[in-house]
Structure 1
Amino acid sequence: MKMKVIYLSLVILMAIGTLNATEYQLPQGKSRLIGHEQYHTVIKGDYFQQIAEQYNVGFLALMAANPNVDPFLPPVNSQVTIPKAMLIPPIRRVGIVINLPELRLYYFSPDKKTVRVFPVGIGREGLETPVATSYISEKRENPVWRPTKEMHERYFAEHGKKLADVVPAGPDNPFGKYALRLGTSEYLIHGSNKRFGIGMRASSGCIRMYDEDIKWLYDNIPLNTKVRIIDQPVKVSYENGHKKLIEIHQPLTEEDGNKSTVKISDVVQRFVGTERAHWHQLLPFIEQPKGLVVELEPIASEVKRPQ
């Protein structure tokens, strides 16, 4: 049986508002599925960075969902899958949750009715964004950038020239127009003066967002909002009591620089079960994660879980 990607007919909840909306109604009960897959018909001049910005998804997420498409010259009239369906991470739905392998930030509204989802850039190999629990301690508009000693040393080693001690607000400031500090640390959630790099591992450890996205957070979230940064490349969910959904992302690169492989936890093994057909269906997604929500085809012998 062929693995079935979650299409519109399988989705319970739809995004609110326009095509590019990032706000979703929170599912009821234990359900975790939000959003729906979308499809973009390529026209002349399209390329993945432009498509990613149009649909407010990450660049790497778009590449993972379309592994056989040239990201710089996608064929005209071809269909590009837009990964807008997702499973909410199995974590308390409060404040901000950043799942590093997904390169996504979730913001759960205080009324517990909606969640907003944004693509983010995170720390590159060797400068990883840490898994942490923190809070928003400070909000800055037009932030000034003061590179750390380590940044100065790294910049000189890479470019052979000195980095400025202070970079004022403006087009040369890598923090963009807004920044949110995490606790008492040096880590920020901030904008960027470069559109490329959102949805990628490209920062020095901070969380990067599109300027319009960080402005929304700056305008709408209060100080002391809880922030949790997690590392969960595999998410699973039972929908309607028996439908098995799974979403697999490429794990973060290991410390030695080698590409990580998907590790199947005991929880995921129990979820998938012992049916060889299910594991056969999952194998291509384990070997090459696409970050798409997929449904395990029902097995006739399986007993439905109670509602």
Structure 2
Amino acid sequence: MYRALLLSLTCLASSAAHAIEYKLPTDGSNIVGTTEYYEVKQGDSLADIANKYNVGFLGMMAANKGVDPFLPQPGKLLQIPTQVVLPDVAHKGIVVNLAELRLYYFPKNDASIVYVFPIGIGRVGRETPNMTTSISEKVKNPTWTPPASIRKEHAAKGDILPAVVPAGPDNPLGDYKMRLAYGHGEYLIHGTNKDFGIGMRVSGGCIRMNPWDVEWLFPHVALGTQVQIINQPVKISQDPDGELIVEVHSPLSKDESQIGVKKSVDAPEVLLKDVEGDTKAKQRLYSELDKQSGLPIILKS
């Protein structure tokens, strides 16, 4: 009774080796998915609920500000960020939007759908860079050769890493890796052997995926597939009927002094022009620029 279908129900629950599929809009808009709600049960945490719907942890927190992430109140109705505005970039191959901690996959053989996944990205000091590149290598059951800088970091904490970590449950890359051609090939899209970090800034610069998500994506992505990594904290959808929707995410911290501190975000000039002369739309826009809920918000219809 708490599930609202704002569009036709195209978002399917995820499970092992299955992805969440969204039908691309045909009405000229730029928004996909449906609004989902969940009533908290005893013993739930936001991480549990995020995994249930295959969304990111920080995205859940942004959409439900003020809710204790570890002990949410039973009976509390939470909004699940399963409706999204597509990034303003070519819908081709893999698109990673760092600001929203999501990966989009637009399959070459079907231009009517997109798959959306929560991801972990590079932490402050080891940022994932913006780039346009391609998949240069795919490896199942990879080994991991920790870079010297990572080994040094771990050694400073008393954790001595081996020169090569073999494939298996102790390998932080998980069961699959896809190498990006950018730079010297040091950036990967890979799985994980940890039960946290998806939808967060936790990696050494690579794109980290849930094990079941990368298991699904790996066989679907061919060598040479284009990968675009962008940083768009503000996304816009406007359909031919004039409905204007904005989705605002918190900007990424640039250094350690910004971690945990609220950061301002500016609206693109095109959006400011769209709400010019509409007092209510402008008020809604500035309210969401402040709130940064990561949810699609209707400015005018």
Q: Provide the residue aligned with 1:230 in structure 2.
A: 230
Q: What amino acid does structure 1 have at the position aligned with 2:82?
A: K
**Structure 2: distance between partners of 1:94 and 1:235:** 17
Correspondence list, 1:54-133, <5 A: 54-110=52-108, 111-133=110-132
Q: Compute the displacement of 1:19 (Å).
A: 6.9
1:272 matched to which residue of 2?
Answer: 275
Distance in 2 between residues matched to 1:257 and 1:8, nearest whole Å: 41
Deviations 1:122-143 (A, max 9, x none): 0011110000011111111111
Query: In the alignment, what sits opposite 1:46?
Result: 44
Residues 169-206 of structure 1, C-alpha deviation per residue, up to 9 Å, x if partnerless? 11111100000000152100000011200000000000
Secondary structure at the residue paired with 2:288? helix
Question: 8 Å contact 2:13–2:53 — kept in the other structure?
Answer: no
2:11 is aligned with 1:8: no
Asked if residue 241 in structure 1 is aligned to residue 236 in structure 2, the reply is: no
* Partners of 1:18 and 1:58 in 2: CA distance: 15
Partner Cα distance (2:221, 2:292) in 1: 33
CA apart distance, 1:272: 2.6
Q: 5 Å matches for 1:122-161?
A: 122-157=121-156, 159-161=157-159
Q: How does 1:277-292 map to 2 (within 5 A)?
A: 277-292=280-295
Paired with 2:11 and 2:41, the residues of 1 have a C-alpha distance of 26
Relative to structure 1, the CA distance from residue 216 to residue 119 in structure 2 (aligned partners, 3 Å threshold; closer, same or farther) is same
Q: 1:161 to 1:62 in 2, by over 3 A?
A: closer
- 2: distance between equivalents of 1:19 and 1:202? 23
Deviation at 1:38, TM superposition (A): 0.3
The answer to whether the 8 A contact 1:62-1:82 is kept is: yes
User: Is this contact kept in 2: 1:106–1:116, CA < 8 A?
Assistant: yes
Alignment of 1:138-217 (within 5 A): 138-157=137-156, 159-183=157-181, 184-217=184-217
Deviation per CA, 1:6-61: give whole Å up to 9, x if none.
Answer: x634x3x5325447761011112632110011001111111111111100000000
C-alpha change, 1:87 and 1:161, in structure 2 (3 Å) is closer
SS at match of 1:8: coil
CA distance in 2, matches of 1:206, 1:127: 9
Aligned residue for 1:235, secondary structure, equals: strand
In structure 1, give the amino acid aligned to 2:118. Answer: P
Mind listing any 5+ residue stretches in structure 2 that lack a counterpart? none
Runs of 4+ in 1 over 6 A off after TM superposition: none
Q: Residue 121 of structure 1 aligns to a residue in which SS?
A: strand
Root mean square deviation, CA, Å = 1.7
CA offsets 1:102-141 (integer angstroms, 9 cap, x no match): 1000000112111000000000111100000111111111
